Structure 1
Amino acid sequence: MTDPIGPIRAALAGRYEIEREIGEGAFATVFLARDLRHERLVAIKVLNADPTSQESELRFLSEIRLLAKLQHPNIVPLIDSGHAGATLYYVMPYVTGESLRERIHREKQLPLEAAIAIAREAADALAYAHEQGIIHRDIKPENILLSAGHPMIADFGVARAIDLAHVRQLTRKGFVTPGTPAYMSPEQLIGDRPIDQRSDIYSLGCVL
């Protein structure tokens, strides 16, 4: 049987050892892997759809390099990126714990103090990134990971990188762009004007 992720395994051989798939979204499949150089677990996100051109691929990798400079205790850092053939991927540390979505599903409703504490730290991370000129564009409970009770925002700015690469995921309803409608600001959902940091603040308010 053909290994569906054979090209990725081959491209990462000697650097990362893929253990298993741990998640899948509209735009990426997530794999748990071992960083052989640093002896640590990482999460590798592989885009499900190919970029439309080599220029698009270069835009994606260039944007990822900018995002890798973000250093904040409540932001999951990007530590590597690349491509295997025309398939793009990026690497983050593997965060043990659960997502905010999983906690909400488990507890149904968070205690007020816990919800405020999570929102405060997430807002601090957003403020830091906004000072660097970077907008998340896809704030939602699934992208807020909880480690030792503290939030860590994942996929910071990756939505823009995917958009720059002109990557589109084809669904039954047609092509979709990065973002989650239930948490999007009106201007992001309509797409009739450029968005700024206020869109992230709106999304965090929806989460809270």
Structure 2
Amino acid sequence: MTAITERLSAALVDRYRIERELGAGGMATVYLAQDLKHDRKVALKVLKPELAAVLGAERFVVEIKTTASLQHPHILPLFDSGTADGFLYYVMPYIEGETLRDKLNRETQVGIDEAVKIATEVADALDYAHRHGVIHRDIKPENILLHDGRPMVADFGIALAVSAAAGGRMTETGLSLGTPHYMSPEQATAAKEITARSDVYSLGSVLYEMLAGTPPHTGASAQQIIMKIVTEEAPPVTNLRKSVPANVADAVAQALEKLPADRFTTAADF
């Protein structure tokens, strides 16, 4: 057990028993833990120290609570959040299964019907959240968990909490929100207004990758990818997989329009 894990375990000793690290992403480290009060396994996510320093505890906890009321079969719920010994953490159910990223790493492309089904169910979750005033802001294969083939969207609220709490300080500290491959053009250019249509773009990018085996835009660096997102049209998905039906290819193309106004109005329309 590392020094950080030992400190975290000591800070949460009355509430959670840390069992092992599951992985680390750009914003948080994930641990498998036992919820001692409810006797259940949970995924406990701890924000990276540099991110926690930018945010401050109070604002983070206030903002992330706005998503605690989201109840939808394809949204992974928020169980708990808080601070302990300088750590900012939030807790979600531990789901046995894999992420869509794991599946793509293994299979490269997903069957067309399965890809459309996953995208449709994620779109349903997004539409529900949008109608409740919550935009995800970081839809990507890593945030889509597959449980018995059923997608569950994770980390609802974390990107919102980080962006709302940190404001313009994100770029000053070298921290950025969103994974470049799936960012909408307006997120890539740090536009002030991020809307539901930004999530539609990101979901379009994920569906594109499920069908084509590669994201719409690739590059050697985050900067290159962002430049392409802002300035270049993605190749039609049928260039990379001819068997994609025309109506599916058209829907992907509309979701990936540069201007939000040219995309689907809602995730449900997608």
**Structure 1 length as normaliser, TM-score?**
0.91
Q: Percent identity?
A: 54
Q: Could you tell me how far 1:40 is from its partner in structure 2?
A: 1.1
Residue 187 of structure 1 corresponds to which residue in structure 2? 186
Mapped partners of 1:127, 1:67: distance in 2: 14
Residue 63 of structure 1 corresponds to which residue in structure 2? 63
SS at match of 2:44: strand
Mapped partners of 1:200, 1:49: distance in 2: 27
Letter in 1 for 2:154: A
Residue 105 of structure 2 corresponds to which residue in structure 1? 105
Q: Which runs of 5+ in 2 are unaligned?
A: 208-270
Matches within 5 A, 1:41-190: 41-50=41-50, 51-52=52-53, 56-166=56-166, 175-190=174-189
Mapped partners of 2:94, 2:48: distance in 1: 20
Letter in 1 for 2:176: T
SS at match of 2:159: helix
Paired residues, number: 204
**Structure 2 length as normaliser, TM-score?**
0.71
Letter in 2 for 1:159: A
SS at match of 2:74: coil
Letter in 2 for 1:128: Y
**Runs of 4+ more than 4 Å apart:** 167-170
Structure 1 residues 32 and 2: CA distance shift in structure 2, 3 A:
closer
Contact persistence 1:46–1:87 (CA under 8 A): yes
Per-residue CA deviation, residues 39-98 of structure 1 (Å, 9 max, x unaligned), is: 111001101125347x83211101111111110010000100111132200000001100
Q: Which runs of 5+ in 1 are unaligned?
A: none
Per-residue CA deviation, residues 10-36 of structure 1 (Å, 9 max, x unaligned), is: 221121100000110111110000111
User: Whose relative contact order is higher, 1 or 2, with alpha carbons under 8 Å and at least 6 apart?
Assistant: 1
Aligned Cα RMSD in Å? 2.0
SS at match of 1:83: strand
Larger radius of gyration: 2
Tell me which protein shows more strand as a share of its residues.
Answer: 1
Per-residue CA deviation, residues 148-205 of structure 1 (Å, 9 max, x unaligned), is: 11000000121121223329789xxx60222111100000110133110000000000
Contact persistence 2:23–2:31 (CA under 8 A): yes
Letter in 2 for 1:42: V
